[in-house]
Homo-oligomer: A and B are copies of this chain.
Amino acid sequence: MRGDPDCLIRGVASLDEAGEGLISFLGSRRFLPYLADTRASAVILTPEHADVCPVNALVTDNPSLAYAKVASVLTARAPLAPGIHPSAVVDESAVIDPTARIEAHCTIGAGVRIAAGVFIGPNCVIADDCEVGNDSRLIASVTLGSRTVLGKRCLIHPGAVLGADGFGLANDQGRWVKIPQLGRVRLGDDVEVGSGTTIDRGALKDTVLHNGVKLDNLIHVAHNVELGENTAIAAQTGIAGSARIGAGCTLAGQSGVAGHLELADGVHVSGQTAITRSIRAPGLYTSTVPAVPHSAWGRNFARIKQLDDLFRRVRALEKALAETADDQAEN
């Protein structure tokens, strides 16, 4: 900390928009140009940039983390107003902790258990026998299929669907016959699920997201998948059935993991990348194909399907040249 220790902070803002009483942060070099002219009352930044900070500085090795904590304190939600909105339909066998809040137009099934401090936002559906752990929050329009289990402090965004049937089919001479999906979805503590993300129940065993898993929007998690602790997955990624992802992994957007694979702890996957084999070693894996101007694409990408032939031709050239060299040596 450098500067005035008595400086009062009442809110947060970006470097270029902050003013009196607001704190900002420098989370990336990208925003360094805004530092010199900031009107923030204080800035969170690394030791490297402390000297060029024109205002009070809160110095730390991880400004994003410090900012996250500061902002959480400064923007804390009002305490829940406990109770069940009269328009909500709650089965009489459901057990709702008196400190929980159930908003308008929710439908809560038989045998559901809602723990202390839980917030169920408007228009959510919680099917029979679900359990929602302490202080979890379903923002709005969330659907939980029967027997879904959420740990503590989970945060589920609108449109997410947890616990629908997995895609399990047997083929009967061309016709598809549904395989009953009998497992559950189980979330550990501190799991976040983005808008429109779908997590299917297991076929027989459960689909499991361990503590601290964070999912962005429109992700597909198929039946029987297991996601390890603190693994974070960006939008529109798909995890096919029975895949097991380790702890501390990150998968960038629009990536895909094929069924029944295992990814070790600490595996990182780039955007639009296809994981088609199990990965045993931590590290970053990529198959992103970067865009080129369309004319260059036409000439070059059509060649991919002739690559094997090209390798053979180069091999033939190498042999021919070696023979030519031999011939010359003999002459």
Interface residues of A, Cβ cutoff 8 Å to B: 12-14, 17, 30, 62, 64-65, 67-69, 71-72, 75, 85, 87, 89, 103-105, 107, 121-123, 125, 127, 139-141, 143, 145, 155, 157-159, 161, 164-165, 167-172, 174-180, 182, 192, 194-196, 198, 200, 204-205, 212, 214, 216-218, 220, 222, 230, 232, 234-236, 238, 240, 248, 253-254, 256, 258, 260, 269-277, 283-294, 296-297, 299-308, 310-311, 313-314, 317-318, 320-321, 324-325, 327-328
Contact = CB atoms under 8 A, between A and B. Distances in A.
A318 B221 CA distance: 50
A195 B195 CA distance: 13
A195 B62 CA distance: 39
Contact of A321 (B123, B277, B321): B321
Contacts of A273: 291
A59 to B, nearest CB: 16
Among A104, A178, A217: residue with most chain B CB under 10 A: A217
Contacts of A310: 303, 310-311, 314
B178 A72 contact: yes
A242 to B, nearest CB: 9
Nearest to A124: B123
20 contacts: A72-B180, A85-B89, A125-B141, A139-B164, A175-B212, A194-B198, A216-B220, A218-B218, A220-B236, A235-B238, A240-B253, A285-B292, A286-B291, A290-B301, A290-B305, A300-B307, A303-B308, A306-B311, A314-B317, A317-B318
Copies, count = 3
A180 B143 contact: no
A276 B196 CA distance: 25
Contacts of A296: 305
B195 A200 contact: yes
B294 A299 contact: no
A288 B276 contact: yes
Contacts of A72: 178, 180
Contacts of A71: 179-180, 182
